[in-house]
Amino acid sequence: MLALLLARSRDLDAVIFSNDDMAVGGVFHCMSEGIVPKRDLALFGFNGLAIGQTLPTPLSTIRSNRFLIGKTAMERILSQPVRTGAAETIDTSFEIVEGGTDLPRFSWTVYATFVACCSAWSGVRQGGAE
């Protein structure tokens, strides 16, 4: 995936992956191509999985509260067997993990903006059938 992206545009500053597993693959691709994360290209994951923190250079990522998301969803389903059809967004929060794969020149404000856009996705959505 990263190879295709870099083939299209070598002047990228950062790549934000949709999960840590893909970002770890991106780190391995960089290692095989002589690209040094942090110096040459910022790499960011999502989910804050342990595998990203065990890399030689820990992955910069967003740690979502996956357990809380699942727990909250189950509690909502069990407490309200008949749905009203109204959508509800529940903030389950997140944490930015500043690993070693971000660039000094890359703005964490940009990343935080990305996180804000994703926070609705990582929250629990309750509503009628779509």
Please indicate, yes or no, if residue 63 is contained in any of the structural domains.
Answer: yes
In this structure, are strands 88-90 and 94-97 parallel, antiparallel, or unpaired?
A: unpaired
Domain that holds residue 13: 2-125
Mean confidence (pLDDT) of the chain: 80
Q: Is 96 helix (H, G, I), strand (E, B) or coil?
A: strand
- On the question of pLDDT at 125 being above 90, the answer is no
pTM equals 0.71
* Residue 52 domain-assigned (yes or no): yes
What single-letter amino acid sits at 44? Answer: F
Q: Residue 29's domain is classified under what CATH number? A: 3.40.50
Residue 15 lies in a domain: yes
Query: pLDDT tens for residues 17-70?
Result: 989 999 999 999 999 999 998 888 889 999 899 999 999 889 999 888 889 999
CA 33 to chain centre: 24
Query: Looking at the DSSP assignment, which residues form a beta bridge with residue 94?
Result: 64
Total number of domains in the chain: 1
The pLDDT of residue 1 is: 82
- Is 130 a member of any domain? no
